[in-house]
Structure 1
Amino acid sequence: MSDAQSNAHEFTVTEISSAVKRTVEDTFGFVRVRGEISGFRGRHSSGHSYFTLKDDGAVIDAVVWKGSYQRLTFKPEEGLEVIATGRLTTYPRSSKYQIVIEQIEPAGAGALMALLEERRKKLLAEGLFAPERKRPLPYLPQVIGVITSPTGAVIRDILHRLDDRFPSHVIVWPVRVQGETCAPEVTAAIDGFNALSPDGPIPRPDLLIVARGGGSIEDLWGFNEESVVRAVARSAIPVISAVGHETDITLIDYVADKRAPTPTGAAEMAVPVRAELIAYVEDLGTRQRQATRRAASSLRDRLRAASAGLPRPGDLVSTPRQRLDMATTRLGSALRVAQHNKALDYQRVSGRLAPGLLRQRAESARNRLDTAATRAAYGLQTRLGRARLAYTPLAGRLRSGLLAAPVDRGARRLETAAARLDAAYLRTVETRRARLDGLSKLLSSVSYHQVLARGFALVTDSAGNLVRTAADVQPGDALSIDVAQGTIAATVAGAPPIPRRKSRADQGPDEQESLF
């Protein structure tokens, strides 16, 4: 039995695969597919990305070539629902069809919000949003770096507000504030400002402001990228986030050191109001001057009180003067008594002072002196001879010039020492005089007579004891009241005390200040 023959055309596997590939690519040359990303494990070592798109009923393989991946505004992430734009093709080796993706966009605002929330939780878990990481802003930055578009209204608003509040040196780093290049440019700007040298030709800013105007979540998406968030987190310069309006929230707002509701608000946070600072400094100066006047008034009162207690100079020298007068009075009689005593002593020994006795004693002394002179001359000759013998071997080596230099040096040292001695003597005298003057002033400052001169009084009882409190006396007790010009005798009457006028010492600092 023979096999049935057929006239059907025979295709090779390659022919079938190529025909299917052409048909699929011609029919689905441009498609938009909505689905959930599944099986995404990051980019392959070749730079390409492979994953699948799925929905409730089917799965399709997807690939993003290396060149297309770099141009994607939104990068693929596991579980993200997206709308992928590309073309369908087949992979002949496995008889599969797949979509070659050229652009990816989230499937609506809900998907973007879900992606934003997922990123926020991820970065929050890493501690990038921790409050303790945030640094205080400099009170008055010298240089402010602004990262924004140079052509928008944002930079004009910031510069205008800074000029109104406190004119500062501003460096603008121009970037695109939306689109696929926004995140890389903002990241590069933050890192670039941090890389500047503090003493370089371009000064390093003390504060950074990242700003742009309001917009949709898609417009602001560049400020939700991880690269921007991590650049702000590692910035050594404090950062103010001013992205969008007050109701717009981006991830950079969580990591920045301060979030401003608007770019104008960021400028207000960056610098204080110059006029308010001037007013504050003037107020401090006024308060300082008032405090100085009060302190000077208080010290003046204390000085007066202390000077009132000092004794009069005449009182200090009155006792020594009296002692000197008494000694002068006794000096004449003491001299006469001394003269009389010496005359008596002379009379007692005058009998032994006969001329012959004196001549005998003088002759004996002369003999002893002659003997001593003879012995001295002999001894001198002997020592001179010995010295001459000792000098003879050295005479050849001794010259007058050798002694001149030491003599000159000694003379100069002597003159220097004499000059220093004179100066030291003068300084010592001046020091002792200044110390004596200080002690004299101190002695005057502790005397109680000056206190009496100011109107105070020293009260003692009949026994001479000081009366310190009202409880120390009883009605009928005799008192002695010492004032500046004399002593007053008084008796305690027992009547109620007379109200006294408010004295200067009892007045407060403000009342005393008014007197000046």
Structure 2
Amino acid sequence: MNDIFASDSRTNATEYTVTEISGTLKRTVEDAFGNVRVRGEISGYRGPHSSGHAYFALKDDRARLEAVIWKGNFTKLKFRPEEGMEVIASGKLTTYPGSSKYQIVIDNLEPAGAGALMALLEERRKRLAAEGLFADNRKQLLPFMPRIVGVVTSPTGAVIRDIIHRITDRFPLHVLVWPVRVQGDTSGAEVAAAINGFNALDPNGPIARPDVLIVARGGGSLEDLWGFNDEAVVRAVAASDIPVISAVGHETDWTLIDHVADVRAPTPTGAAEMAVPVKAELEATVAGLAARLRGAVSRHNTRKRQALNATSRALPSPDQLLGTRRQRFDEAASRLTRALTTNIEAKQLRLRGLRLSPAVLKRRIEDARRRVERDGDRLPVVFRSLVQGARGRLDRHASRVSPLALSRRLDTHGQTLRVLERRIDAIMDVNIERRDARLHRAALRLRLEPIEEKLRARRRRLDQAERLLKSVSYQSILDRGFALVTDEAGTLVRRAADIARNAALLLEFADGKVDVIATKGEAPKSKPAPNKSGGTQGSLF
């Protein structure tokens, strides 16, 4: 049975390994399709891999072809692949045995016709505009009169000759040319490097930095002008500190550099006209302004001179201005002489009328001394009478107060009174001595101070002492509505806690004394009689 099955499994077909089949397919595909150009839409593109290679697919409406771009070729591409872009890929077909699939290894990649270029251009324009690179608020103003003009263009074309010729005709100045290719794969990178290079120049270096840049090229097709649509060129112009004038193509040609440049010129010749003014026109303008300035200054001086002449005619002469004052000065000088003579004569008459002599001065001094001594003898008598009067008034007030209760206060007031009397006597003695000394000094100055004024001052001080005595007396306290409480022995009662129940007390008011009985907080049994004012006097305790 086993032999029968073994003989059935034998066949004449050749056996291949998986590797042999994969290698055979790879050689067959590569031999049959060495170099091909494939048109399709990019699908699944996510940017270059971390290794630098790019993997995506090319597809149409019915099929899909895997594609790969090695790192070395990816960096040489004219533009970067983008998702959904229709392209024409050039390369060779091969297989990948690891996943049993065939793919194209792309060597070159280009858009599929002008329509694709326009789509790519529009997408790039929208993306850069969204970043704000085309905004008007970031554009710079062109300098009115630059010193150096920088030109980025081809050194062999007609564009540079037109620019230099136009600048020479309008305003000859220094022109720096940075030669670049204006067409081809490297034109965009060269133009961006030229713009960055001009901005990197030192303004004070051996090659001075230009004040304005002109990026120029003649007309051409979209493919010819594609280098000026390069993203590197747009970003270089946006980052330029030097104002940039774009003059790429004819007036109907538009590139991305036209949107980002500070000013767009329709032609290279128009860019030269925008960059520099016309020297002859400036000279004519300056000459006209100078003539107007001279005329204005001349007319101004004429008007001021006429006004000055009119003012000078209206002013009076120096003799008219000073004549009246000179006459008044002469009259005052003549009056001054007469007045001095009259004044001297009057002083002499008054001096003769005084009849001053040592005897007269001595007699006047003796009279003044006698009056002072007389007033000084009367002064102690007057003060003592005033003190006795004050003591009498004090005694009358003291008779209303219990001697036992107010003995200490009376002694204090008596001592104060005696101290005041001694002070007054001492003050009087000192004042008499001072008065005598002042009298001698006053006699020398022929001036005496009236003693009555001093007496009035001493009387005011005595009245003040009397008012002070009244203010410290307990009688003034009773006048304000308070009462003096004493017990049967005449001892002053200061606190309610010291009063026993039914104790006999004596209340002294300002106008008399009243005997009362302490109830110790108990209410009175009968209603008290109304007082004179119509009210009732309640219990004091």
Q: Normalised by the size of structure 1, how large is the TM-score?
A: 0.63
Q: Unpaired segments of 5 or more residues in structure 1?
A: 350-516
Match of 2:144 in 1: 139
In structure 1, how many angstroms separate the alpha carbons of the residues matched to 2:90 and 2:185?
A: 16
Structure 2 residue 228 is matched with structure 1 residue 223: yes
Q: Secondary structure at the match of 1:189?
A: helix
Match of 2:210 in 1: 205
Question: Residue 86 of structure 1 is aligned with which of 91, 116, 129?
Answer: 91
In structure 1, how many angstroms separate the alpha carbons of the residues matched to 2:47 and 2:335?
A: 122
Please report how far the alpha carbon of residue 122 of structure 1 lies from its aligned counterpart in structure 2 after TM superposition.
0.7
Match of 2:311 in 1: 306
Q: Which has the higher contact order (CA 8 A, sep 6+)?
A: 1
Give the count of matched residue pairs: 350
Q: Which has the larger radius of gyration?
A: 2
After TM superposition, the runs of 4+ consecutive aligned structure 1 residues lying more than 2 A away are: 320-332
Structure 2 residue 122 is matched with structure 1 residue 154: no
In structure 1, how many angstroms separate the alpha carbons of the residues matched to 2:327 and 2:200?
A: 88
Please report how far the alpha carbon of residue 297 of structure 1 lies from its aligned counterpart in structure 2 after TM superposition.
2.1
In structure 1, how many angstroms separate the alpha carbons of the residues matched to 2:143 and 2:151?
A: 15
In structure 2, how many angstroms separate the alpha carbons of the residues matched to 1:325 and 1:226?
A: 100
In structure 2, how many angstroms separate the alpha carbons of the residues matched to 1:140 and 1:168?
A: 10
Match of 2:115 in 1: 110
In structure 2, how many angstroms separate the alpha carbons of the residues matched to 1:18 and 1:146?
A: 58
Taking a change above 3 Å as real, the CA distance of residues 268 and 6 of structure 1, as seen in their structure-2 partners, is: same
Aligned residues of 1:25 and 1:89 also touching (Cα < 8 A): yes
Residue 156 of structure 2 aligns to which amino acid in structure 1? T
Write the deviation string for residues 286-305 of structure 1: whole angstroms up to 9, x where unpaired. Answer: 12112212221221222123
In structure 2, how many angstroms separate the alpha carbons of the residues matched to 1:184 and 1:277?
A: 39
Q: Secondary structure at the match of 1:94?
A: coil
% identical aligned pairs: 67
Write the deviation string for residues 125-170 of structure 1: whole angstroms up to 9, x where unpaired. Answer: 1111111111111111112221111111111111111111111222
Q: Secondary structure at the match of 2:151?
A: strand
Q: Secondary structure at the match of 1:183?
A: helix
Write the deviation string for residues 292-331 of structure 1: whole angstroms up to 9, x where unpaired. Answer: 1222122122212321221111211222443466578889
Match of 1:12 in 2: 17
In structure 2, how many angstroms separate the alpha carbons of the residues matched to 1:331 and 1:227?
A: 103
Higher mean C-alpha deviation, range 172-181 or range 249-258: 172-181
Q: Unpaired segments of 5 or more residues in structure 2?
A: 354-541
Q: Secondary structure at the match of 1:248?
A: coil
Write the deviation string for residues 418-463 of structure 1: whole angstroms up to 9, x where unpaired. Answer: xxxxxxxxxxxxxxxxxxxxxxxxxxxxxxxxxxxxxxxxxxxxxx
Match of 1:291 in 2: 296
Match of 2:490 in 1: none
Aligned residues of 1:73 and 1:179 also touching (Cα < 8 A): no
In structure 2, how many angstroms separate the alpha carbons of the residues matched to 1:324 and 1:72?
A: 110
Structure 2 residue 57 is matched with structure 1 residue 52: yes
Match of 2:183 in 1: 178
Question: Residue 282 of structure 1 is aligned with which of 283, 287, 301?
Answer: 287
Match of 2:536 in 1: none
In structure 2, how many angstroms separate the alpha carbons of the residues matched to 1:170 and 1:97?
A: 58
After TM superposition, the structure 1 = structure 2 runs for residues 62-461 of structure 1, keeping only pairs within 5 Å, are 62-323=67-328
Aligned residues of 1:147 and 1:209 also touching (Cα < 8 A): yes
Write the deviation string for residues 168-198 of structure 1: whole angstroms up to 9, x where unpaired. Answer: 2221111111111111111111111112222
In structure 1, how many angstroms separate the alpha carbons of the residues matched to 2:260 and 2:208?
A: 25
C-alpha RMSD over aligned residues: 2.9
In structure 2, how many angstroms separate the alpha carbons of the residues matched to 1:312 and 1:341?
A: 43
In structure 2, how many angstroms separate the alpha carbons of the residues matched to 1:327 and 1:280?
A: 69
Q: Normalised by the size of structure 2, how large is the TM-score?
A: 0.60
In structure 2, how many angstroms separate the alpha carbons of the residues matched to 1:124 and 1:320?
A: 88
In structure 2, how many angstroms separate the alpha carbons of the residues matched to 1:66 and 1:331?
A: 121
Write the deviation string for residues 440-487 of structure 1: whole angstroms up to 9, x where unpaired. Answer: xxxxxxxxxxxxxxxxxxxxxxxxxxxxxxxxxxxxxxxxxxxxxxxx
Match of 2:46 in 1: 41
Q: Secondary structure at the match of 2:321?
A: helix
In structure 1, how many angstroms separate the alpha carbons of the residues matched to 2:199 and 2:335?
A: 97
